A and B are shown apart, each in its own frame.
Chain A
Amino acid sequence: MAELSHTKLAKKPKWNWLKMAAVLIAAILALPILVILVNVLIGDGDVWQHLYETVLAEYISNSLLLMVGVGIGVLAIGVPCAWLTSMCEFRGRHFLSWALLLPMAMPAYIIAYTYTGVLDFAGPVQTFIRDLTGWRYGEYWFFEIRSLGGAMTMLTLVLYPYVYLMSRAAFLEQSANTLEVSRTLGYSGRAAFFKLALPLARPAIVTGLTLALMETLADYGTVQYFSVNTFTTGILRTFYGFGDVAAASQLAGILLLFVAMLILLERYSRHRIRYHASGLKKASHRRISLARRHAVWAWVFCALPILVGFLIPVMVLAYWAIFKAEMPGSNFVELAWNSFYLAAMASLIVVGLALVLGYAIRLNNSRSVKFSVGVAGMGYALPGTIIAIGTIVPLAWLDHRVIDFVKHYSDERVGLLFSGTLFALLFAYTVRFMAVSLGAVQNGLGKIKPSMDMAGRSLGMSPYKVLTRIHIPLLKGSVLTAILIVFVDTLKELPATLVLRPFNFNTLAVRAFELASDERLIDAAPASLMIVLVGLVPVVLLSRSISSRSRHAK
């Protein structure tokens, strides 16, 4: 056995560098939230008093009303659509079940601009009514879209898919046996739905609801455009308008409180999903066949959200972009290129770090690593505005230390190395989107059983070769999905990009927002349309995966 004499004699491999990397990544990604919390704590009473006397009541009531409205809306659309497409059988059910996801591709601020363009005073709908009736301004009532109600409607239209997806999955997971048992015990179909199916699906529905509400709280583009004062608009106004970090942080702190409650609710209901799903599994469903008369109503109910939440706005945007918009081509290309390479860089960084964290937890599943991964994934719940402020404050501080340091030793002048460059943006995106990519990466790693690593090693492969010949080919799909999701999310992201972009650096989302704010809705259409079309890619992937799953379930 000559070979053995020159083998490495490693003691137990410890992978300590991975553990350290995981802790370090978590610590850095936790920075924004720590900065906000510290500022909340050190903020003095005066600021608080001032906020309390002036804007606080309005922010709280608007945010709460918005949440209530959106909450009711997404439940009213999401749950029945999920029930109809998962438990009932009618012609076109399969098509509707994936098309109901399409509004996910539509950022709320873009649907808001689009409907404003369609429905406001100068828009085609009101013009048509005036032409038809001869009424003039003030002589008739029309729904004012730039209002709290309008914001609720817009957010509902694009956020109901969260509830739809979660409750659909829950309905499909429910064993047919459970429902059949209830029928044998004398419950009618309707009673079985209200007494069994709905309560069983409740944890999943609540999870979907909390996700939708987190997005509602995080929304900036829609409420800002509709002049509805909520926390997110308030935070940015306080920060920009008054340059008051302390007050902005105080507001962010209260917003965080709301978010924290939602997170707790989400964790709790996710925990309960596991509890409810235990045991009975996958007896294939027999769907309830709908009579033609009922099928029509099912169609109308399910098609309406798709039409209003996706088809109409996309058609309007396409019409504007192709026939009406005035935007020089070169300008558009530059915006698209900026958006593209920013999103590409962000997705590579985020997924790279997610891989480090994923491997850390696979190879060193200690308490500190688990905690670090938990912390690193926290950002998904943080509104972009909070991350933006939590990023810019410490980076600006760091920049000024660097400038002072350099000035002290030489005459060189350095600019804002961190806060004034893409670094800040990429950092904020990493905080915000780590959780989604971590989810995809861990999902992929879970499919590589530890025994496959061992099989490779016992067949003479070094750890490095196990990585290149087993892990990389098997992980490729999940990693690409993760990259894609982060890419699209980055492209759509508005508030953090708005705050943190370097001077004179514009992306599609920012430009669309600026044009819309200048009442140039039609000129904003090409950029908006582009965002929606790119946003369609992950939605299509998602719908493909759920429809293939439902085909297996048959």
Chain B
Amino acid sequence: MSFSTSQKQLPIQKQLKSMTLNAVSVGYEGQPIVKQASFELKEGQIGCLLGPSGCGKSTLLRALAGFETLMTGEIRVDGELIASEDRHVNPEDRHIGMVFQDIALFPHLSITENIAFGLSAWPKSDAQERVSYLLNLVGLSGFESRYPHSLSGGQQQRVALARAMAPKPKLLLMDEPFSGLDAKLREELVPDIRDILKHEKMAAILVTHDQMEAFAMADQVSVMSAGEIHQTGTPYNIYHDPETRFVAEFIGHGDFLTATVCGANCVHSDLGTIRGDLDHGFEANQEVDLLVRPDDILHDDDSEFVGMIESKFFRGSHFLYRVKLSSGKIVFCFASSHHDHAVGQEIGLSVHLDHLVMFPR
């Protein structure tokens, strides 16, 4: 056993400039689980792989960390090729940290020892300083000599984060880090962790099936389904400008109105003629499905278009009405909780859309 002296030196990592995935496929025994995934992450950004369970998002994350080999494609960190069909840099040499779904703290080590686990090459005083800095950052000063089993779930998750961040990785990966925690704790922890990552200017990628988590955490979301990345964009963009029907249906609540194109930026629909502010690129008289979200449809007593309330859900600040249009289509509509209507009543509806999202029928 001989270690080169260069490894003993403090490995100073520069911050990530960019990480690119180019047509990455990952799979077992010739069966791809992730197909042709591409996206780019920039300095200090928090990315997110969002999708239903079994869509391949965790597999892609494991490939980034180096626990899976690539079938095709390449992964580059700051231009350096770290994985391709015939190149595989081992996980320990990638300087990519990871937080695991089941937390995976080492039960035989104290909190300090857990966090310092990746700092074995650091001078002792620097390592100590780093550990106490991180413990302070995650709000667990005073827990130094405790053991993982004596901590609550949320505290363990914070330690896991500190442990992964300790060696200053270029990139931090988080695999469903909040899935084991209850809703209340998650609500506290998500913004905390975003603040910590931003404070450290650390680039990160989160894997989750929970879009609220994705929106609260990420600068850039990649929506995945059946092994493919459907769209990568800001949370605002993927909600308001979904590029595929899957994204439109998976993100938020969406209904489709049947519509006929009547001009470069307008369509006829069950709820009247709707004009967008941009050309939609469809040809006149083409039949399309128009995406409407509950917040696009307003309760409007003056409107000539009516629908019958089928059921209603009280949401505190507002009602969500399930409304049947004369054509038989069902749409959802938000109304302020002052507008309390009975089931079976007819209400007027109007559509407020700036940007038309349509898919060919």
Which residues of A line the B interface, CB within 8 A? Answer: 1, 3-4, 7-12, 449, 451-452, 454-462, 469-470, 473-474
Contacts and interface: CB of A to CB of B under 8 A. Distances in A.
A441 B167 CA distance: 33
B117 interface: yes
Interface size class of B (residues with CB under 8 A): 35 or more
Given A11-B69, A458-B96, A460-B118, A451 B90 contact: no
Interface centre among A7, A455, A473 (most CB of B within 10 A): A455
B97 A451 contact: no
A454 B88 contact: no
Given A7-B89, A8-B90, A460-B118, A455 B107 contact: no
Ranked nearest first, the 8 interchain pairs of A and B with the lowest CB-CB distance are: A459-B118, A451-B104, A457-B91, A7-B93, A451-B100, A458-B98, A12-B69, A455-B104
Interface stretch (B74-82, B222-230, B285-293): B74-82
A470 B164 CA distance: 16
Contact of B88 (A1, A11, A469, A473): A11
B188 interface: no
A12 B96 contact: no
B66 A457 contact: yes
Contacts of B283: none
A462 B163 CA distance: 17
Given A3-B93, A4-B89, A7-B93, A451 B164 contact: no
A459 B164 contact: yes
Interface string B51-64: 00000000000100
A452 B106 contact: yes
Contacts of B100: 451, 454-455
A272 to B, nearest CB: 30
Nearest to B82: A4
Contacts of B121: 460
Contact of A12 (B82, B88, B94, B97): B88
A248 B101 CA distance: 58
A535 to B, nearest CB: 30
A478 to B, nearest CB: 13
A449 B89 CA distance: 23
B92 interface: yes
A9 B88 contact: yes
A461 B107 CA distance: 17
Contacts of B117: 456, 459, 461, 469
A15 to B, nearest CB: 14
A533 B164 CA distance: 49
A457 B94 CA distance: 10
Given A455-B104, A474-B107, 6 more contacts: A12-B88, A458-B91, A458-B92, A458-B96, A458-B173, A460-B93
Contact of A7 (B67, B90, B108, B120): B90
A10 B88 contact: yes
B253 interface: no
A1 B97 contact: no
A459 B69 contact: no
B167 A459 contact: yes
Given A3-B11, A4-B82, A461-B92, A454 B98 contact: yes
Contact of B163 (A8, A455, A469, A474): A455
Given A4-B80, A4-B93, A455 B88 contact: no
Contact of A1 (B77, B91, B163): B77
Nearest to A457: B91
Contacts of B187: none
A30 to B, nearest CB: 29
A354 B72 CA distance: 38
Contact of B167 (A1, A455, A460): A460
Contacts of B65: 454, 457-458
8 contacts: A1-B95, A10-B90, A12-B69, A454-B65, A454-B91, A457-B91, A460-B93, A474-B108
Contacts of B97: 458-459
Nearest to A2: B6
Interface in B161-190: 163-164, 166-167, 169, 173
B218 to A, nearest CB: 20
Nearest to A447: B107
Nearest to B100: A451
A412 to B, nearest CB: 41
A452 B98 contact: no
Nearest to A461: B92
Contacts of B62: 454
B164 A449 contact: no
Contacts of A449: 102, 104
A458 B89 CA distance: 12
A470 B106 contact: yes
Contact of A9 (B89, B167, B173): B89
A473 B65 CA distance: 25
A467 to B, nearest CB: 13
Nearest to B93: A7
B30 to A, nearest CB: 13
B3 to A, nearest CB: 10
Contact of A462 (B77, B86, B92, B101): B92
Contacts of B88: 9-12
B8 interface: no
A462 B62 CA distance: 17
B124 interface: no
A452 B89 contact: no
Nearest to B173: A458
Contacts of A4: 80, 82, 89, 93
B68 to A, nearest CB: 8
Contacts of A11: 69, 86, 88
Contacts of B90: 7-8, 10, 457, 462
Nearest to B77: A1
A10 B88 CA distance: 6
A12 B29 CA distance: 12
A12 B78 CA distance: 24
B80 A458 contact: no
Given A4-B82, A459-B167, A454 B93 contact: no
A7 B106 CA distance: 26
Contact of A457 (B78, B92, B101, B167): B92
B87 interface: yes
B118 A454 contact: no
Nearest to A460: B92
B108 A459 contact: no
Contacts of B93: 3-4, 7-8, 460
Nearest to A469: B117
Contacts of B106: 452, 455, 470, 474
A268 B65 CA distance: 43
Interface centre among A451, A456, A474 (most CB of B within 10 A): A451
